[in-house]
Amino acid sequence: MSADVLDSGEGRPVPAGDALLQVRDLQVEFRTRDGVAKAVNGVSLDVHAGRTLAVLGESGSGKSVTAQAVMGILDSPPGFVTGGQVLFEGTDLLQLSSRQMQRFRGERIAMVFQDALSALNPVYSVGFQIAEMFRVHLGTSRREGMAKALELMERVRIPAAKERLKNYPHQFSGGMRQRIMIAIALALDPQVLIADEPTTALDVTVQAQIMALLADLQRESGMGLILITHDLGVVADVADDIVVMYAGKVVERAPVHDIYADPAHPYTEGLLASIPRVDRKGQDLAAIKGLPPNLTRLPSGCPFHPRCPYRRDDPCTTEEPPLYEVSSERGSACHFWDEVVGGDHRAKW
């Protein structure tokens, strides 16, 4: 670990090794008419300056809810944070008042959402919405705010930015809108950026452009990036570390190459095995059997056991697996991780 100090871009030096953001044992539940759903069940993760953490999982795994809880923008009711800590440079964000948290948002932590068309306000120009960051947080004048908005639009590579400042969100293409959202998020040079499925709604070539843009911007500013996605392909290019979530828990965490080369959890293995590959033409597609669990009625023991080919009745159906330490950098929440690691990753699928 280098003793160098990274400049996070705001004159606030951060030791390279320490995490900017540490989530510890986060618990979030949703109280619905049909019962209490444990959407996030003891999630822990770290985000470091200059590094990208990918949070991988399918719908309902709790990844977006985790992000929303970190930002403090959970829909409450029906969502409630019932435990854990979110430590940002030592401060527990969950203990802050909403006023105090509001100062963090946008300035220190920012978020980019999936569908830019609905995430941007349709009745205000994009220039207005970007400039708003400066006007509200820094008190800049309207004219200066617009000038800075223009700079940002150019920084995220929107062509003919000057003419388009006054345009409205619906007048842009999907990729351009996403860039605008990124511009808004980066306006005040946050230390952490959370991107919640930023490219899911875009087609493949635009996806690549946006991911490249994010990578470049991160390199320039040294911010920590949390990339939430369900797309393994996107992750491979961009991420440094991966956390895989299932049914509200972290089931595996590892540096990116380790996960692809040698997964340590059956779910991760299943995900990788289900990717269609050209060289396996003519063979059946592998898929993980069954459906994700109903969060109001989780299975006993390991939540993945109904679908797991490695499962034994004991202890899989009785004991919830903790995050076993596979190595100093890897963890797996599977009682039989040692069978998964190093094995034939296609055999059981």
Partner 1 sequence: MPDPSSPLPGPGQGGADKPVHIAAMAHGETATGPSGADTVGKPRSLWSDAWHDLRRRPVFLLASALIAFLVVVAIAPGLFTGSDPTFCDLSRSNQTPSASAPFGYNKQGCDIYARVLYGARPSIAVGILVSLGAVLVGGTIGALAGFYGGVVDSVLSRFADVFFAIPLLLGGIVFLSVFPDRNLWTVVAALVVLGWPQLTRIMRGAVISVRDADFVTAARALGASNRRILLRHILPNALAPVIVIATINLGIYIVVEATLSFLGIGLPPTTVSWGGDISSAQSSLRTAPHVLMFPAAALSLTVLSFIMLGDAVRDALDPRLR
Partner 2 sequence: MGRYVLRRLLQMIPVFIGATLLIFLMVRALPGDPVAGLFGERAADPAVVAQLREEYGLDEPLWKQYLLYMQGILTLDFGQTFSGREVTDVLAQAFPVTVRLALVAFAFEIVIGIAVGLVAGLRRGTVFDGTVLAATLVVISIPIFVIGFVMQFIVGIKLGILSPTVSAQAPWKDLLLPGVVLGSLSVAYVMRLTRTAVAENLRADYVRTATAKGLPRQRVVTVHLLRNSLIPVVTFLGYDLGALMGGAIVTERIFNVPGVGFTIVRAIGLRESVTVVSFVTILVIVYLLANLIVDLLYAVLDPRIRYA
Q: Which residues of 100-113 are buried (b: 16+ CB within 10 A; e: fewer)?
A: ebeebbbbbbbbbb
Q: Encoding tokens for residue 228? A: 């939430």
H-helix or E-strand spanning residue 137: helix 126-137
To partner 2, the closest distance from the beta carbon of 99 in angstroms equals 8
Q: Which does 100 bind (CB under 5 to 8 A by kind): partner 2, partner 1, none?
A: none
Locate tokens 């056991």: which residue? Answer: 305
Nearest to 48 by CA among 181, 201, 193: 193
Task: Determine, following the binding rule CB under 8 A, whether residue 33 of this chain makes contact with partner 1.
Answer: yes
Task: Determine, following the binding rule CB under 8 A, whether residue 309 of this chain makes contact with partner 1.
Answer: no
| CB closer to partner 2, 68 vs 221 | 68
Task: Determine, following the binding rule CB under 8 A, whether residue 115 of this chain makes contact with partner 2.
Answer: yes
Number of neighbouring beta carbons within 10 Å of residue 183: 25
- Cα(203)–Cα(209) distance, rounded to whole angstroms? 10
Q: Which does 121 bind (CB under 5 to 8 A by kind): partner 2, partner 1, none?
A: partner 2
Nearest to 336 by CA among 274, 251, 261, 259: 251
**Residue of 123, 160, 278, 347 that binds partner 2 (CB under 8 A):** 123
To partner 2, the closest distance from the beta carbon of 102 in angstroms equals 5
Task: Determine, following the binding rule CB under 8 A, whether residue 143 of this chain makes contact with partner 1.
Answer: no
Sheet holding 109-112, edge to edge: 109-112, 192-196, 224-229, 52-56, 241-246, 249-255, 331-332, 324-325
- Cα(210)–Cα(83) distance, rounded to whole angstroms? 35
| CB closer to partner 2, 153 vs 181 | 181
**Hey, is 244 helix, strand or coil?**
strand
**Residue of 76, 91, 167, 296 that binds partner 1 (CB under 8 A):** 296
Task: Determine, following the binding rule CB under 8 A, whether residue 73 of this chain makes contact with partner 2.
Answer: yes
Task: Determine, following the binding rule CB under 8 A, whether residue 349 of this chain makes contact with partner 2.
Answer: no
- Cα(116)–Cα(273) distance, rounded to whole angstroms? 32
Binding residues with partner 1: total (CB under 8 A): 18
**Residue of 37, 43, 149, 193 that binds partner 1 (CB under 8 A):** 37
Task: Determine, following the binding rule CB under 8 A, whether residue 110 of this chain makes contact with partner 2.
Answer: yes
Task: Determine, following the binding rule CB under 8 A, whether residue 24 of this chain makes contact with partner 2.
Answer: no
**Residue of 32, 100, 102, 274 that binds partner 2 (CB under 8 A):** 102
- Cα(144)–Cα(130) distance, rounded to whole angstroms? 12
Residue 103: DSSP 8-state: H
Sheet holding 79-88, edge to edge: 35-48, 19-32, 79-88, 91-92
**Residue of 23, 54, 65, 111 that binds partner 2 (CB under 8 A):** 111
* Site residues (CB under 8 A) for partner 2, limited to 156-215: 168, 170-171, 181, 184
Contact 207, 234 (CB under 8 A): yes
Task: Determine, following the binding rule CB under 8 A, whether residue 306 of this chain makes contact with partner 1.
Answer: yes
Which of the ranges 29-37, 105-113, 193-201, 313-321 carries the binding residues for partner 1, by CB under 8 A? 29-37
Q: Which does 134 bind (CB under 5 to 8 A by kind): partner 2, partner 1, none?
A: none
| CB closer to partner 1, 88 vs 304 | 304
List of residues contacting partner 1 (CB under 8 A):
30, 32-35, 37, 39, 59-60, 290-297, 306
Binding site for partner 2 (CB under 8 A): 71, 73, 75, 98, 102-107, 110-111, 113, 115, 118-124, 132-133, 136-137, 168, 170-171, 181, 184
